[in-house]
C-alpha cells in the first residue's frame, strides 16, 4: 500500500499552523463556505508533500492523518547486523575517505555491539583487503571480477545490492565523493531504503539503534539530524576529512570473504570508452595543505593562471567557487562548497570570493586569507587576514616577493 496523508475536515479549525510549519510549502488554506463558522480548511498538495510528518506533529487538533507505506513495517530489523564501509577505489588506489569512514565505523560498531566490515569492489583488487584489516576491519568482502575493472554505476550497484541482500548490514557508510554521490542513491533505491547525503556527523541512538545522521540543510543555515527508523540498512554518504583516518597497525587478524559475482544478473546499459585523468592540477584539493581559490572576482581564465602560479610557488592546489566553474574558467574538479568538495587546508587563500554559505560550508581551514575589493563581503569579515584591494595587483606583488626571497 502506498503512503497516504489526509486532512480530517471535522477536526481542522483552519489555524494555519500546519501550513506555516511545512518546509516544502505543500499546504495551503482554502475557504469552506458550508462550514457553520466559515473556518478555513487545510489542503495538501501531494506533488510537493514528502510525508515528513512535521505537519502532523504541529497540529494540536489531530486533524492530519498519515499512513506510511506498509512495506516499512514488514521489515524485521533484528536480521540486520554490522556496520559496513564502501572502500572506494579507482585503478587500485583507495580513496582516503574510506579509511576515515572505517575509523568512524569502528566507533559506531562498538556502540552497537557488532562488527565492522568493508566492501571492496573491483578487478584484481583482493591484495588491498589486508590493509583494511590492519586498520581495524573485522571482515572484508571482496567482489573481484574483470567486469568490475572500471567503475560504472550499474555493475557496481548490482554487485553491492546482491551482497547487501545476502548479508543484511545494519549501517552502510559511503564517501560523499563524485563516485559516492552517483553510486549511493542507486543502491538505496534498488534495496528500498533511505539515504542521507553529505553527512558531517554520525551518532547512535542507544535506545532505538537508529543512526542519527547530521547534515547541513537550507543552504547550510541549519544542521538537520535525520534518522531511518523503519527501513534497513541505514545509509549515509559522508564528506571527506570529517573524520580522522583509521590507524594502520601491521599484523592484525580479520576475515577476508570472497563474494562470487553473478555476472548473469548484471545489466549494463553504458559502454566504458576510456578514462581521462584531470591534468589541470597535480594536487587534489581535498588533500592540499594550502589552497589558492578564486571566485567571480578573478574575472577570466588568465586570472586563474595567475592564481596557479601562486599556488605552484606555495606548493598548494587551486580551488574555485561555483561562479568561476559556471563561467568555464576552471574545471569542476576544483569546485569547493556544498555542490563541490569539502577541504581542510592549513591555509586557504580566497581571491575574489564573496563568501556565500554554499561555498564556505565546504571550508574547514586553520587560516583564511581573503583578498577582495569589497571589505563588507562575508569572506572578508570572517577571514583570519583580510587584504582589501585589486586581487590581481596583490597576487602579483605576493608572487614577486616570494620569488625575490628565494633568489636572495
Question: SS in 3 state form for the chain?
Answer: CCCEEEECCCCCCCCCHHHHHCCCCCEEEECCCCCCCCCCEEEECCCCCCCCCHHHHHCCCCCEEEECCCCHHHCCHHHCCCEEEEECEECCEECHHHHHHHHHHHHHHHHHCCCEEEEEEECCCHHHHHHHHHCCCCEEEEEECHHHCCCCHHHHHHHHHHHHHHHCCCEEEEECCHHHHHHHHHHHHHHCCCEEEEECEEEECCCCCCEEEEEEECCCCEEEEECCCCCCCEEEEECCCCCCCCCCCCCCCCEEEECCCCHHHCCCCCCCCCCCCCCCCCCCCCCCCEEEEECHHHCCHHHHHHHHHHHHHHCCEEEECHHHHHCCCCCHHHEECCCCECECCCEEEEECCCCCHHHHCCECCCEEEEEECCCCCHHHHHCCEEEECCHHHHHHHHHHHHHHHHHC
Residues 6 or more apart whose Cβ sits within 8 Å of residue 255? 138, 139, 140
Residue 311 has pLDDT above 60, yes or no: yes
The residue-averaged pLDDT of 58-87 equals: 85
CATH architecture of the domain with range 290-407 = 3-Layer(aba) Sandwich (3.40)
Q: Quick one: pLDDT at residue 171?
A: 98
- pLDDT-derived band at 261 (thresholds 50, 70, 90) equals confident
- pLDDT-derived band at 178 (thresholds 50, 70, 90) equals confident
Structural contact between residues 183 and 156, judged by C-beta atoms closer than 8 angstroms:
yes
- pLDDT-derived band at 221 (thresholds 50, 70, 90) equals low
Q: What whole-number percentage of the chain has pLDDT above 90? A: 68
Per the listing, cell 563516485 goes with 179
Residue 278 has pLDDT above 90, yes or no: no
Q: Quick one: pLDDT at residue 195?
A: 95
- Which is more confident, 399 or 277? 399
Residue 219 has pLDDT above 80, yes or no: no
The residue-averaged pLDDT of 19-44 equals: 90
Distances (CA, A) of 2 to 71, 210, 308: 9, 24, 54
Q: Quick one: pLDDT at residue 74?
A: 64
CA dihedral 278, 282, 287, 292 (to 10 degrees): -100
How many CA atoms, within 13 angstroms, populate the side-chain half-sphere of residue 373?
Answer: 9
- pLDDT-derived band at 256 (thresholds 50, 70, 90) equals very high
Q: Quick one: pLDDT at residue 105?
A: 97
CATH 3.40.50.620 domain residues, the chain = 79-265
Q: Quick one: pLDDT at residue 2?
A: 65
Q: Quick one: pLDDT at residue 340?
A: 83
Q: Quick one: pLDDT at residue 281?
A: 61
The correct answer on CATH 3.30.70.3270 for the domain covering 4-70 is: yes
Query: Which CATH number applies to 79-265?
Result: 3.40.50.620
CATH 3.40.50.1220 domain residues, the chain = 290-407
The residue-averaged pLDDT of 260-277 equals: 82
For the whole model, what pTM was predicted? Answer: 0.72
- Which is more confident, 223 or 323? 323
The residue-averaged pLDDT of 141-151 equals: 92
Per the listing, cell 592549513 goes with 346
The residue-averaged pLDDT of 34-63 equals: 89
The whole-angstrom separation of Cα 377 and Cα 379 is: 6
The residue-averaged pLDDT of 211-228 equals: 83
Residue 235 has pLDDT above 90, yes or no: yes
Angle, alpha carbons 314-358-283 (nearest 5°): 25
Cell numbers for 88: 572506494
Q: Quick one: pLDDT at residue 37?
A: 85
Average pLDDT, the chain: 90
- pLDDT-derived band at 342 (thresholds 50, 70, 90) equals confident
Residue 70 has pLDDT above 80, yes or no: no
Q: Quick one: pLDDT at residue 290?
A: 95
CATH 3.30.70.3270 domain residues, the chain = 4-70
Q: Quick one: pLDDT at residue 73?
A: 52
Per the listing, cell 561555498 goes with 359
Q: Quick one: pLDDT at residue 47?
A: 87
Q: Quick one: pLDDT at residue 165?
A: 94
Amino acid at each position: 500500500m502506498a503512503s497516504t496523508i489526509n486532512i480530517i475536515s471535522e477536526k481542522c479549525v483552519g489555524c494555519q499552523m500546519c501550513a506555516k510549519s511545512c518546509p516544502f510549502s505543500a499546504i495551503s488554506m482554502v475557504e469552506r463556505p458550508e462550514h457553520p463558522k466559515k473556518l478555513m480548511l487545510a489542503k495538501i498538495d501531494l506533488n510537493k508533500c514528502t510525508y515528513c510528518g512535521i505537519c502532523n506533529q504541529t497540529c494540536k487538533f489531530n486533524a492530519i492523518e498519515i499512513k506510511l507505506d506498509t512495506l516499512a513495517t514488514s521489515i524485521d530489523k533484528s536480521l540486520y547486523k554490522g556496520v559496513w564501509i564502501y572502500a572506494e577505489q579507482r585503478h587500485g588506489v583507495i580513496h582516503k575517505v574510506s579509511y576515515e569512514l572505517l575509523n568512524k565505523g569502528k566507533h559506531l560498531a562498538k556502540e552497537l555491539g557488532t562488527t565492522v566490515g568493508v566492501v571492496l569492489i573491483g578487478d584484481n583488487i583482493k591484495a588491498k583487503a589486508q590493509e583494511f584489516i590492519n586498520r581495524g576491519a573485522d571482515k572484508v568482502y571482496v567482489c573481484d571480477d574483470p567486469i568490475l575493472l572500471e567503475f560504472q554505476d550499474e555493475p557496481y550497484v548490482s554487485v553491492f545490492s546482491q551482497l547487501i541482500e545476502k548479508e543484511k548490514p545494519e549501517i552502510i557508510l559511503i564517501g560523499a565523493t563524485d563516485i559516492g554521490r552517483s553510486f549511493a542513491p542507486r543502491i538505496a533505491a534498488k534495496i528500498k531504503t533511505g539515504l542521507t547525503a553529505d553527512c558531517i556527523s554520525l551518532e547512535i541512538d542507544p535506545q532505538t539503534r537508529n543512526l542519527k545522521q547530521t547534515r547541513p540543510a537550507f543552504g547550510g543555515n541549519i544542521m538537520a539530524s535525520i534518522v531511518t527508523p523503519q527501513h534497513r540498512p541505514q545509509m549515509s554518504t559522508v564528506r571527506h576529512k570529517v573524520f580522522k583516518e583509521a590507524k594502520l597497525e601491521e599484523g592484525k587478524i580479520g576475515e577476508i570473504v570472497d563474494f562470487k559475482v553473478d555476472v548473469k544478473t548484471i545489466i549494463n546499459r553504458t559502454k566504458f570508452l576510456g578514462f581521462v585523468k584531470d591534468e589541470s592540477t597535480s594536487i587534489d584539493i581535498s588533500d592540499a595543505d594550502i589552497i589558492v581559490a578564486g571566485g567571480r572576482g578573478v574575472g577570466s581564465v588568465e586570472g586563474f593562471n595567475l592564481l596557479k602560479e601562486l599556488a605552484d610557488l606555495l606548493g598548494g592546489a587551486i580551488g574555485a567557487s561555483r561562479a568561476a566553474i559556471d563561467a568555464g574558467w576552471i574545471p569542476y574538479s576544483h569546485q569547493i562548497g556544498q555542490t563541490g568538495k569539502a577541504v581542510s587546508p592549513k591555509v586557504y587563500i580566497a581571491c575574489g570570493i564573496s563568501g556565500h554559505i554554499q561555498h564556505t560550508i565546504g571550508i574547514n581551514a586553520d587560516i583564511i586569507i581573503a583578498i577582495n575589493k569589497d571589505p563588507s563581503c562575508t569572506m572578508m569579515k570572517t577571514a583570519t587576514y583580510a587584504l582589501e584591494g585589486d586581487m590581481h595587483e596583490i597576487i602579483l606583488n605576493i608572487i614577486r616577493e616570494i620569488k625575490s626571497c628565494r633568489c636572495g
